Structure 1
Amino acid sequence: MKTTPKRRFKINRVAALVTTSLLASMAITPSVYAQQQLAQDDQQMETIEVRGIRRSLEASMNTKRFANAVVDAITSEDIGKFPDKNIGDALQRISGVTVDRQYGEVSGVTIRGTAPEQSRVLLNGQSVASTSWYDLGPATRTFNMELLSAEQVSAVEVYKTPKASIEEGALGGTVDLTTRQPLDLDTNTLMVSAELARGSLYDETDAGGAFLASWKDEQERFGILASYSIEQLTSGRHVLESIGSYYEYFAADPDTGQESTVGAWAIGSQAFRAERERTSAQLTAQFAPTDNTGFVLDYFRFELDNPHVNHNFLTVGGRGSGSENVQNNALGGTEQATITPAYASIIYNPVVRNAVNMKADVLNLSGKYIGDTYEVSAVLGQSTSDGGTQFGASSWWIPATDEGDKIGDPAFENGQNSTDGGFSYDATGPYQVWLSSLDATDASQFKHAQEANFQTTVQEHDIRYAQADIKWLLSGDLFTSIEAGVKVNSSEFSRVAIHRNPADVIGFVPNGNLSNWSDGVFTDLHSQSSGHILDSYAKLDEDQWWDFISGKYEAGELIETSALGDTFGVDEDMLALYVQSDFSGEYFRGNVGLRYVDTEQTSSGYADGQAFKETVDYDNWLPSINIAFDVSDDVIVRAAASSVMSRVNYSDLKPGLAIQENFGSANGGNPYLKPYEADQADLGVEYYFTEASLFSAAAFVKQIDNVVFLTEEVEFVDGCGAQPSEYDSCRVTRPRSNGDGDVTGLELQLQHTFANGFGFVSNYTYVDSETTRPDGATEMVPGVSENSFNGSLFYENDHISARIAYNWRSEWIGVGAAQAVRNDDYQQWDASIVWHAMENLDISLEGVNLTNEVIQSYDTNYDLTQNTIEFGSRYYLSASYKF
């Protein structure tokens, strides 16, 4: 494979230059002075003291109203009082934003018709390194919202149109999370809180708490802020699911007229339980030696521990000996069938994983100096993250009457048989299952068959950056300021995969009947699904089993080896330059700018045990313009246009090919993928009819190039074919940047507060978003709903603040275990009430997903049931006191 000569930016030298020349004179200036100096930019923006729901809405609306771009905001009501328990839950209240839930809590956000990995999440304007604990998914660029506690965030701004000064990489939008600084708070501020949390799926109550302390000297020149929070919750999900892709595992029988059997490899009744613990810490020092200089040093640490157990009772059609009573739909998918038994056609598969973690550290030094007509600022920082799933146990338990003690027992040369592995199923809705003879609740009817092969991963991500900006205030009639900056950014991502061969560990369990390892029976699973569902079965005592398995690890009987084919790394060196100018007139204001970014990308990995490394370089020119017309004191018309880009997922950039030489084919990743690119435009109107009331409408369009699809093409590949003459005819399947997409959307927002303490916030979003494959076929963008609606009704007075919130989205395409799925529309109700028991004491009760809604999904090819996912409801009782 051809390798481009590597050209690295010397980030350490650039950082040293930036630091030496600018850092001594940089500062974060006191906010009052900065507002005085930059009044032309802020257009006399109001300062709002945030207290309660109404004041929070006013502050958020104030940010939107005076912004020079299309921006929506969420502002904390007070210290430790973010409107939602999770940042992602709060983001779903914003028009144009939908969220992705994998295990109950929000893990990613979709903005304006683009996939979650094509949105950017920044912390105080800077990138945060991110990994994932989920070992079966792709390595994406999505910042996992599960990692971040809402306790430490004071405000969230969502930039739907870019400015040249904002870091690139967002195709949909940029989310900027803002934390608190000590000089902005009263001296000796102290907040403490305690919390009890409970999920409805598992009868356990968990404790949590938080504190924030902030001090500054009498001259308000130096301050220190420290905060820490811990949240614990025993939660998870119950799923009626399919395992594996859909395929024909029994052909039609013309002699009997029996139709072919097409379905998933297995149907599962899953009970996933996790003991989640999320901790967040912040330490901030702020120094303003003069009225126009200052520095801020921030350190953050976020960590999520997620040890879990996944119980799954599998009825495995793909391992049966045949089928009867088959009924297929018009697409050829089997809706009903009876599977005749074979060895291990029923499997109980508990997976125990205790070493599951992800964490991120952020160290950031920033500063600014403001002169009479200019300001100079710079940032130097580093963010590191590591995560993954290590060690664990994944065992197979099969009917005790099945022949043989383990898979492939050599005592049975002609294979192994079963008498109790038969079942019938219905796949037209939530899976219905009837076992022919086995009692799933009787542990004595199961025995251990093998410790299954599984793969674990370790991910690491490291980001280093240095940035310098200068801004001049101008005295012209049109342009009020001009700003320019440079940023160098180095990112190193790696994923190490490890596997264990089941041949090394099968048949080693003493007293292998499940009755010797069980601690009871699951009951009342899948409470939101009706019919003959598999809602009860005997379960493994995971503590007893893990003690046994961990002893095997310690004794060296379980050996893990590198899975080189799934081990890879992506290093990126990025240089960004921009220039931006703000302008204003009597009835208008805005900004125009150009951002240039050069990316040098090196992908490394393995194929057939051989190391591969590929280096490519690409650049992007990203112009943008935002303009707001003040039609009247209360009406603003906005227009915007820009070019944006978004880098592809790390997993897709993996180099090297797995070659099947006898078949003349190969598959792998593609380090030459181009970044997604889009041209976009926005037009909207905002009507502020009271200080806390707003009606707005906005239309937007995006034209997207370089959409990635997994396709097959003929290429020359050395060694692909039975002889060299066939090497140039190799059929290579890999991701390619050979598609395009279009997004058209409309956002409507209405909010109002009444004089009697009641108020409401609502928004509706329509998105027509599709991609076009190389063959001309069109597809919906994964994760995007055509319609979504959010509404909140609230009431507050001097004693209570209460809110009920509703969220709904229409159907969308998601990604299942092995293929794309169509998810039905989804709705969710949340509610909270806060009692102001004393002047500084609040007692609150919050409920999330009160009606325990489920996500129902179907296979897109055969219209058969894929998943029925139940997350349960979550409840939080807390008390907070502010000194």
Structure 2
Amino acid sequence: MVLRKQVLLASGAAIFGLVPVFAQPVLAQSAPAPSSAPVAATTQADPVADGADTDIVVTGIRGSLRSAIAVKRNANAIVDVISAEAIGKFPDRNVAESLSHVPGVSIDRRFGEGEKVAIHGTDPALNRMLLDGHAVASADWGGNDNDPTSRTFNYSLLAPELVERLEVYKSPEPRIEEGSIGGTVIVRTRRPLDTPANSIFASGGYSYNDRADKGNVRASGLYSWHNEGGTFGVLGAVTYDKQSLTRSGVEFFGFENAGDRFFQKDANNALIRDASGQPVLKNPGATVTGGTRQDLANAVSPFGINYAYFTQERKRISYVGTVQAKPTDDITLTLNGLHIDGNYNNSSQSMYVIPGAWSGDVLQSATVANGVVTNASFGAASAGSQSAQLDLLIRKTKLTTDNLNFVAEWEGPDGATVSATGGWSKAIGGRNPEYLLDVRTDLPYSYGFNSDSANVDYVGDLTNPANYRRSNSPQLQTIDGAPVIVNGTQLNAARAGGIDFSKTIDRDYYAGYDAVIPFEAGPFKEIRIGGKFTDHRNRLNASGFNNYSTSNYTLASLGVDTMTTPNGTFDGTGGTGNATKYINLSQQTVIDILANSINIPVAKPTASYIVDETVAANYVQLNFDQSGFRGNIGGRLVYTKNVSNYADQVSSTDGSLPTIVPQQVENDYLKFLPSPERRV
């Protein structure tokens, strides 16, 4: 029995791992065969019972390392390999973090956890991930509007315990699926016929997030069995991972010209000046420090300052099952299934000011330093405006990933191999739904900042629900130009928020074959041929509700339970002032307020789309090895057809309502992709 214990401290979290590995006895061998799985210490017989000398063979990670080195040595491309044992040395939460140990590979971290992989500095969307040689559908949880669905894979969904080895191809080969600029990651999962019978791999851990003030456990287990003849085997694995995340910070939404916000302008948009030639402020009583009014007009000021508080609970459960059979010595059949359930529910509460647009007419004082308005104070909001806004955003997100893959392999006596594969993959994710409620305050405030800190102070109590009122003023409501009719009349109300549904569906069908034929022709040692057909669909379904209110409410008048940002939320962020302590609402409270509003369904055809891609590819690859030079030459012939279906909103020229016009764009192309590669 091999017992490994790890204890380490990192990033304010304590992680404890306990990994026992069990295996059946293995007889002593003069030259152990390379193995990619770690093998436990074994004995041949009981020396006490037999009264004879006994050889004891102890093997550790050598076989695993030898296997990884062999893959790199025999590759005809620039390849890095991480073995299962090497992965086990690190307390990685997912495969992305395991890949970060490879030279030339960087990972895109979100909320402290690796999610996506970049190779040689390329965008993650320009790299491919293949699970046992085929692509896996992937969906996102919708937490970043700048992270659209693409070919990249969310590696946080894949636990490292399921992996036999990771191969990172930094240069192309004709046999490897096209579509990558930076590189291709091939994840090889464990197989029961390649793993000692009755092997059990188990790991567990505990992590504590000091900012969230919560701790969670993670655990995984894998069992692999095959019969004595090695003709049939099954493998099953389960992984559970939970995290409680909290993120807070001060965000600046860029800068703008102060002259456009704080000063009076004429009909030609030029600054109005007094008798001395100085521009005239919207509030003539405001004072300027550090320069003249002209210096203020030439300076830049923050467009917006946001005190953001984000919480999320991530829970992932994955199931893997593999069945292998060898009906004959030269045929191997493998069926592999993967199912991942992920819950990524989260809430975001943002308290922000837009000084120029909202408070430019009530400027009280401003300080200019090096062309920047570093400090400013403002009076209470004027009629029809506001001082600040509190956005309360609740996302309900469930990610599912399903994959089923079948492989039939034949190996001839001379080293020739032929394999056929087929399968299906589907992923569903997105915001389903997203609730948004916003309320406003009219309190006077001031801001100040330097290179590493920011301060926003309100004159008043941000923890008092009476200081938060409904956003917007009542008006006759329309959607895309059409009046909103309620009970036979046009609705006269104020927007209270909204509910948004944005569901992403990614799906693949694929089938292909590969053959390796040994032959001797000068430096050439073997020829590889193969082909693959893929039918891929990426779809986004969008819809929602607009929420309206006819009541001029405050949070106090609603009578809902309120909270405040926890103590210490903004510690260490550089954010100070009483803006660090503001009203919070629970997720259920936000949902209930919106449910009690007037809900009008909104179709979003222009935000929905379907993209179908059909790819048929064939390749020929000749591998050569002579005089210390090794490599390949060949090419890949790829036919691609894309059909995109979406909708445009077309404005009319006669004053009538805009119309929704379905659109379809279709294109196809045939490309030959040469791929010479040489290694020394």
Tell me if TM exceeds 0.5: yes
Rg larger for: 2
* Contact 1:79–1:154 (Cα < 8 Å) also in 2: no
Note the residue ranges of structure 1 that are not aligned, 5 or more in a row. 1-43, 400-417, 630-883
Aligned match of 2:584: 540
- Which whole-Å CA distance do the structure 2 matches of 1:324 and 1:606 have between them? 48
Task: Give 2:118's match in structure 1, choosing from 68, 85, 110.
Answer: 110
1:597 aligns with 2:626: no
| Mapped partners of 2:132, 2:125: distance in 1 | 19
Pick one of 353, 359, 369 that aligns with 2:400: 359
Cα distance change of structure 1 residues 194 and 324 upon mapping to structure 2, 3 Å threshold: same
In 2 relative to 1, CA 207–507 (structure 1 residues): closer, same or farther, beyond 3 Å? Answer: farther
Q: 1:335 to 1:612 in 2, by over 3 A?
A: farther
On the 8 A contact 2:424/2:510 being kept in 1, the answer is: yes
Q: 1:172 to 1:510 in 2, by over 3 A?
A: same
Per the alignment, residue 224 of structure 1 pairs with 234
After TM superposition, give the deviation of residue 310 of structure 1 in Å: 0.8
2:261 equivalent in structure 1: 250
Give the match for residue 310 of structure 2.
Answer: 272
Residue in structure 1 matched with residue 542 of structure 2 by the alignment:
497
Q: Give the partner amino acid of 2:563.
A: D
Q: How does 1:359-758 map to 2 (within 5 A)?
A: 359-373=400-414, 374-399=416-441, 418=442, 420-426=443-449, 428-435=451-458, 437-449=459-471, 451-453=496-498, 455-502=500-547, 504-505=548-549, 507=551, 512-513=556-557, 516-530=560-574, 532=576, 536-546=580-590, 548-549=592-593, 551-552=595-596, 557-608=598-649, 609-629=660-680
Distance 1:580 1:263, change over 3 A: farther
1:139-192 CA deviation, whole Å, 9 max, x = no partner? 322211222222212211110001100000100010111110111111122234
- Residue 572 and residue 442 in structure 1: after superposition, are their counterparts in 2 closer, same or farther (change >3 A)? same
- Per mean C-alpha deviation after superposition, the further-off stretch among 239-248 and 480-489 is 239-248
Give the 3-state SS of the residue equivalent to 2:348 in structure 1. Answer: strand
| Deviation (angstroms), 1:287 | 0.7
* 1:4 equivalent in structure 2: none
The offset of 1:541, in angstroms, is: 3.6
The residue type equivalent to 2:636 in the other structure is: R
Distance of 2:526 and 2:559 partners within structure 1:
76
Q: Contact conserved, 2:127 with 2:179, CA < 8 A, in 1?
A: yes
Change (3 A) 1:49 1:321: closer
One-letter code aligned to 1:493: N
Instruction: Say which SS state the counterpart of residue 98 (structure 1) adopts.
Output: strand
Matched residue type, 2:388? I
Find the residue that maps to 2:334 and give its secondary structure.
Answer: strand
Alpha-carbon distance, 1:391 to partner: 2.5
- What is the letter of the counterpart of residue 537 of structure 1? K
Q: Deviations over 1:248-293 (max 9, x none)?
A: 6515561343425645543111111111001111111001112211
Q: What do residues 776-797 of structure 1 show as CA deviations (whole Å, max 9, x unaligned)?
A: xxxxxxxxxxxxxxxxxxxxxx
**Counterpart secondary structure, 1:621:** strand
- Preserved CA contact (<8 Å) 1:104 1:236: no
Structure 1 residues 328, 294: CA separation in 2 closer, same or farther (over 3 Å shift)? farther
Give the conservation status (yes or no) of the 8 Å contact 2:469–2:552.
no
Q: Letter of the 2:592 partner, please give it.
A: F
**Structure 2 residue corresponding to 1:241, chosen from 240, 251, 254:** 251
- Matched residue, 2:655: none
- Measure, in 2, the Cα distance between the counterparts of 1:74 and 1:535: 47
Deviation at residue 65 of structure 1 after TM alignment: 3.4
Paired AA for residue 270 in structure 1: A
Equivalent residue number for residue 90 of structure 1: 98
1:485 Cα deviation after fit: 0.9
What code does the residue aligned with 2:630 have?
R
Instruction: Please state how far the C-alpha of 1:203 moved relative to its aligned partner.
Output: 1.2
Q: Which has the higher contact order (CA 8 A, sep 6+)?
A: 1
Q: In the alignment, residue 271 of structure 1 is paired with which amino acid?
A: Y
**Aligned equivalent of 1:298:** 336
Match of 1:185 among 195, 208, 212: 195
Contact between 1:466 and 1:487, CA under 8 Å: does it hold in 2? Answer: yes
Say whether the 8 Å CA contact 1:604–1:614 is kept in structure 2: yes
Indicate the residue corresponding to 1:410 in structure 2: none
Number of aligned residues: 560
**Cα drift, residue 426 of structure 1:** 2.2
Q: Percent identity?
A: 27
Q: CA separation in 1, counterparts of 2:157 and 2:252?
A: 29
SS in 2 for 1:350: strand
Equivalent residues of 2:35, 2:64 under 8 A apart: no
1:338 equivalent to 2:377? Answer: yes
- Report the counterpart of residue 65 of structure 1 in structure 2: 73
1:149 matched to which residue of 2?
Answer: 159
Alignment of 1:789-868 (within 5 A): none
CA drift at 1:549: 4.4
Q: Distance in 1 between matches of 2:354 and 2:62?
A: 55
2:390 is aligned to 348
User: What secondary structure is seen at the aligned counterpart in 2 of 1:129?
Assistant: coil
In 1, distance between residues paired with 2:255 and 2:420?
A: 51
CA contact (8 A) 1:572 1:602 kept: yes
Check the 8 A contact 2:403/2:423 in 1, yes or no.
yes
| Candidates 337, 348, 366, aligned match of 1:310 | 348
User: Structure 1 counterpart of 2:389, which letter?
Assistant: I
SS in 2 for 1:452: strand
The separation in 2 between residues aligned to 1:459 and 1:229, in whole angstroms, is: 24
Partners of 2:601 and 2:186 in 1: how far apart?
40
Deviation at 1:422, TM superposition (A): 3.0
Maintained 8 Å contact 1:346/1:421:
no
Equivalent pair of 2:435/2:500 in contact (CA under 8 Å): no
Give 1:482 shift: 0.6
1:411-460 CA distances to partner (integer Å, 9 max, x unpaired)?
Answer: xxxxxxx4x1432232643433232x123344443344463246441101
Give the superposition deviation at 1:307: 0.7
Distance 1:50 1:424, change over 3 A: same
Question: Normalised by the size of structure 2, how large is the TM-score?
Answer: 0.76
SS in 1 for 2:76: coil
How many Å apart are 1:122 and its aligned residue?
Answer: 1.1
Cα pair 1:64 1:73 within 8 Å, conserved: yes
Q: Which residue of 1 aligns with 2:289?
A: none
Deviations 1:8-49 (CA, angstroms, capped at 9, x unpaired): xxxxxxxxxxxxxxxxxxxxxxxxxxxxxxxxxxxx996566
Which residue of 2 is the match for residue 845 of structure 1? none
Matches of 1:506 and 1:208, distance apart in 2: 48
Alignment partner of 2:125: what SS?
helix
193-202 vs 541-550, which deviates more? 541-550
Q: Which amino acid aligns with 1:287?
A: A
Question: Superposition pairs for residues 194-213 of structure 1, below 5 Å?
Answer: 194-213=204-223
Deviations 1:479-514 (A, max 9, x none): 111111111111100112224324x34648686458
Give the partner amino acid of 1:219. G
Decide which moves more: 564-573 or 187-196.
Answer: 187-196
Amino acid at match of 2:377: T
Distance in 2 between residues matched to 1:511 and 1:85, nearest whole Å: 41
Shift of 1:560: 3.7
- What do you get for the CA RMSD once the two structures are aligned? 2.9
CA contact (8 A) 2:347 2:587 kept: no
For 1:567 and 1:245, the matched residues in 2 are separated by 33
Q: Which amino acid aligns with 2:467?
A: Q
